[in-house]
């Protein structure tokens, strides 16, 4: 099998990006969708200098020394605007989230003052302005907050709402199906017959498909039989824009997936990638339908879906960063190696990474624990602990 490079394979996948249509929806329906147009802020946030605490809005110049005596000239709470400015020797009672009156630039928290009638006495002296959220410091009106192709995560939804945007354009979901074969596979949670294993790959792949803007319209597993696979291909011919196949990608007598799609008129775009895991990955097309053929090993199918889905769905590829490797790595061979790894930010703020001991593509617990893939180029020389390596981030960093 002649293998093409990962870069070349991703380029071919990008040439097969599926056609998407943009639709306008309400923010409350947007969770998990893919943004079709960037979101721009409609407001400054904060809209004015706001107090971050309950206390008194003062002029910093008045409270440099402790025991300053100030006259309370009014009060302002969140949802109100101050009705007057403060001058030297004055202050205003203020609550968290309220706009600072003109003339003030600092908040003294109420715990640090003694109040009697309309006078306060401060306990401490202050060198710097504190507890003020500056106008526009979070974002400013017309700032681009989220770009096209971004997944609308829960935090992104709150950000968009805070920007005073109520409707947005997202892509209509792509219709995706998962087709698996293997006589050994049984749905999880049943009594397993001798030789059987629980079918597990489709669960992770469904989640990945959704996070790339797809609706999973069908998940089928069929036996290692040409007739069954071919029937399933025809059943999916009108219902899915994208089919992920799992298993049966290699060279064994039971690896029938690719030949069945070829018989059904799909044209192979590439077959075999110089990547580990995922060597037998293939891509095919018939009309507007695209098939990403994934190997059956759990890490191979999941990692290759992460590597190729962004290009087929037009979403953001995995972020690539440099990290300090915490262990020695051997020289790499003829396939680019994507090592399942744990990455984190150390006490000095440096991104560090350590691969898991097992890089077996059948090891699913390591896959589930990892949040990064160390990218070892073809024929890369050995790495010593402390050297920089390139990593693709697949999960959250802590």
Ligand X SMILES: Nc1nc2c(c(=O)[nH]1)N[C@H]1C(S)=C(S)[C@@H](COP(=O)(O)OP(=O)(O)OC[C@H]3O[C@@H](n4cnc5c(N)ncnc54)[C@H](O)[C@@H]3O)O[C@H]1N2
Q: Does 184 bind ligand X (CB under 6 A)?
A: yes
Q: Nearest residue to ligand X, using CB?
A: 296
Distance, CA of 390 to CA of 319 (rounded, Å) = 10
Which of ligand X, ligand MOO, none does residue 200 bind (CB under 5 to 8 Å by kind)?
A: ligand X
Q: Which of 57-65, 136-144, 151-159, 274-282 is the region at the interface with ligand MOO (rule: CB under 6 A)? A: 274-282
Distance, CA of 147 to CA of 306 (rounded, Å) = 20
Q: Does 106 bind ligand MOO (CB under 6 A)?
A: no
Q: Which of 182, 277, 310, 314 touches ligand MOO (CB under 6 A)? A: 277
Q: Six-digit token pair at 57?
A: 């809005």
Q: Which residue lies nearer to ligand X by CB, 93 or 276?
A: 276
Number of residues that bind ligand X (CB under 6 A): 25
Q: Does 279 bind ligand MOO (CB under 6 A)?
A: yes
- Quickly tell me which residue has 């605490």 as its tokens: 53
Q: Does 336 bind ligand X (CB under 6 A)?
A: no
Pick the closest to residue 208 from 180, 174, 256 (CA basis): 174
Report 111-130 residues binding ligand MOO (CB under 6 A).
Answer: none
Q: Are 287 and 275 in contact, with CB atoms under 8 Å apart?
A: no
Q: Which residue lies nearer to ligand X by CB, 94 or 185?
A: 185
Q: Which residue lies nearer to ligand MOO by CB, 297 or 315?
A: 297
Instruction: Give DSSP secondary structure letters for 261-299.
Output: HHHTTPEEEEE-BSEES-TT-EEEEETTEEEEEE-SSHH
Give how far Cα 386 sits from Cα of 325, 328, 343, 349, Å.
Answer: 5, 8, 14, 15
Q: Does 104 bind ligand MOO (CB under 6 A)?
A: no
Which of ligand MOO, ligand X, none does residue 48 bind (CB under 5 to 8 Å by kind)?
A: none
Report 291-320 residues binding ligand X (CB under 6 A).
Answer: 295-298, 300
Q: Six-digit token pair at 103?
A: 């003339």
Which of ligand X, ligand MOO, none does residue 225 bind (CB under 5 to 8 Å by kind)?
A: none
Distance, CA of 202 to CA of 190 (rounded, Å) = 16
Q: Does 337 bind ligand X (CB under 6 A)?
A: no
Helix axes of 6-15 and 298-313: crossing angle, nearest 10 degrees: 40
Task: Give CA angle at 391 (158, 295), nearest 5°.
Answer: 95
Chain residues in the site for ligand X (CB under 6 A): 180, 182, 184-185, 197, 199-202, 246-251, 255, 277, 279-280, 295-298, 300, 361
């Amino acid at each position: 099998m002649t293998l093409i490079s990962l870069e070349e394979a991703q380029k071919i996948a990008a040439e097969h990006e599926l056609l998407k249509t943009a639709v306008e929806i309400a923010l409350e329906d947007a969770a998990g969708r893919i943004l079709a147009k960037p979101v721009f802020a409609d407001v400054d946030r904060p809209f004015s200098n706001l107090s971050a605490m309950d206390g008194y809005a003062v002029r910093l110049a008045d409270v440099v020394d402790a025991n300053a005596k100030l006259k309370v000239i009014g009060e302002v709470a969140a949802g109100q605007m101050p009705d007057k400015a403060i001058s030297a020797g004055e202050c205003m009672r203020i609550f968290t989230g309220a706009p600072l009156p003109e003339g003030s630039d600092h908040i003294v928290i109420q715990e640090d003052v003694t109040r009697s009638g309309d006078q306060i006495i401060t306990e401490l002296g202050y060198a710097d302005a504190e507890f003020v959220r500056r106008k526009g410091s979070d974002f400013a009106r017309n700032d681009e907050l989220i770009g096209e192709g971004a997944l609308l995560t829960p935090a992104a939804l709150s950000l968009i709402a805070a920007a005073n945007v109520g409707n947005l354009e997202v892509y209509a979901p792509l219709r995706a199906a998962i087709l698996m074969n293997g006589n050994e596979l049984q749905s999880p949670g049943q009594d397993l017959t001798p030789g059987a294993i629980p079918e597990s790959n489709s669960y992770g792949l469904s989640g990945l498909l959704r996070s790339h803007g797809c609706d999973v319209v069908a998940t089928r597993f069929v036996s290692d039989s040409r007739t069954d696979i071919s029937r399933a291909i025809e059943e999916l011919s009108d219902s899915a824009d994208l089919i992920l196949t799992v298993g049966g990608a290699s060279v064994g007598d039971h690896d029938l997936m690719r030949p069945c799609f070829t018989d059904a008129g799909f044209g192979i775009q590439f077959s075999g990638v110089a990547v580990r895991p995922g060597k037998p990955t293939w891509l095919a097309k018939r009309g507007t339908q695209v098939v990403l053929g994934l190997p059956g090993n759990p890490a191979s199918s999941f990692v290759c879906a992460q590597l190729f889905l962004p290009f087929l769905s037009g979403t953001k590829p995995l972020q690539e960063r440099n990290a300090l490797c915490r262990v020695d790595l051997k020289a790499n061979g003829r396939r680019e190696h994507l090592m399942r790894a744990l990455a984190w930010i150390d006490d000095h703020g440096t991104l560090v990474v350590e691969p898991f001991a097992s890089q077996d593509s059948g090891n699913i617990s390591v896959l589930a624990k990892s949040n990064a893939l160390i990218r070892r180029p073809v024929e890369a020389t050995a790495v010593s602990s402390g050297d920089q390596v390139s990593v693709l981030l697949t999960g959250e960093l802590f």
